[in-house]
Amino acid sequence: MSGKLQRTWGGRFSEAPSKIAQEFNASWSFDQRLALVDIEGSLAHAAMLARQGILSPEEAEQIRQGLLRVRQEILEDRFPWREELEDVHMNIEARLTELVGPVGGKLHTARSRNDQVATDLRLWLRGELTALLEELRTLRRVLVEEAERYLEPPLVLPGYTHLQRAMPVLLSHWFLAYYEMLTRDTGRIQDALRRLNESPLGAAALAGTGFPIDRHYTAQALGFDRPMRNSLDAVASRDFVLEALAALTIGQVHLSRLAEEIVLYSTFEFGFVTLPDAFSTGSSIMPQKKNADHAELIRAKVGRVLGSFVALATLTKGLPLAYNKDLQEDKEPLFDAVDTYRASVRLLAAMLPGLRWNPEAMARAAESGFSLATELADYLALRGVPFREAHHVVGRVVRHCAESGKELRDLSLAELQGFHPLFGEEALSLTRLETAIHRRKSYGGTAPEAVRQALSQAKIEVEA
């Protein structure tokens, strides 16, 4: 067995692991992402050991200087990763010992790789989620800017239920609907951040340590709110990863819904929006094609992010306490989900301002298909007709129009009064888009004044 492996954990063994077992066990190829936070945790741990008299000041300073040199090598992409050292922690410790000598081996005093990796993962995820919140803020700001851009004069879009034309809405209202979804996604990530910000460091393998360590000191030094209260829980729990993956999954679902509507609205059949060339692709055989491939990929990537959540939930569902090697498999799904979500957020933030909306096609669609029928039913209800009766009356009006090839706006007052005598002259204006859209002014509604109110609040929130 090599000397390095001997010093790390090989004393119990009489032969080296087989090459195939070594390769199967290794994680250094992907957990390199934890290298910088691993050094951050080690610096705090070494400082605490010196503070507690477990290391001499001279030993702690040697270790500190060595760790800083290792960090510089990693930042400059010249760190000598070694395949025979199974993970990022052993690689860094081995390199530290090469640089500073046997004192490097003292760094692991009162620490296990179990609490070390749990600490690293929390530090890494804290940084990533914090960065994702800024990426989300950028996308939310874009949605607000686009909503404001199309409010004066207001662009009208047909609203749908069951993918059938339902009622007209403002395009600004549509943008703000996704703003609300992404605002809740922001809250979920913030919740996950609050709960993960506890320090496992000092829990050691599973039972704590007999050394007189100060876990509160290392927790504070690393920016954690507190040390975790139970050593078994500290090394065995990955619910903080599951919670983050759940938040990212819901977030990716929302991005997918937005992407799906862009795909639909950009088709010839809808014709509401034209994609920027920079965010479209063509066909290898059909020269006329302009495909929304990037939006389609955002839609597809929900499977990856949800798959990461399912993978980790399945991995942890039957694990006994405390640490098990199964937990090595938590990192790749997490890394992939974070990367996928970030890329999707960035792409939408770049693409949305380049969309070219077609007001004429949108208005035609919003006014046709009897989407203003509810206005007529409400009109009768306001004049004392029970709404269920009004609904039935207007249903017969719609059937008449469908059978005669007319739109509601084509009806005369006499025709309307043929269905109910309470229809008056003002009912005719309700079959016009410009009149109907202003009636939906309840809080949260799509009337311009209601949307303007929502937009003002959203602008405050994204700048807070």
Most distant CA pair in the chain, distance: 100
Paired tokens of 353: 């301002």
Phi, psi of 416 (to 5 degrees): -60, -45
Which residue is catalytic, options 162, 284, 412, 442? 162
Residue matched to tokens 């990426």: 135
The reply to whether 283 belongs to the active site is: yes
Beta-sheet strands, E only, within 325-419? 356-357
Beta bridge partners of 363: none
Residue matched to tokens 């010839």: 268
In angstroms, the CA 423 to CA 383 distance is: 9
Q: Which residues of 333-354 are buried (b: 16+ CB within 10 A; e: fewer)?
A: bbbbbbebbbebbebbbbbbee
**CA 31 to each of CA 125, 328, 335, 410: distance values in angstroms, whole numbers, following the listed order:** 13, 9, 9, 67
Residue matched to tokens 């909503």: 147
**CA 390 to each of CA 21, 377, 382, 394, 424: distance values in angstroms, whole numbers, following the listed order:** 75, 5, 10, 6, 14
Paired sense of beta strands 156-161 and 198-199, if any = unpaired
In angstroms, the CA 421 to CA 408 distance is: 17
Burial class for 448, CB neighbours closer than 10 Å (0-12, 13-18, 19+): buried
Beta bridge partners of 227: 199
Phi, psi of 385 (to 5 degrees): -75, 130
Which residue is catalytic, options 29, 56, 283, 429? 283
The reply to whether 412 belongs to the active site is: no
Residues identified as active-site: 162, 283
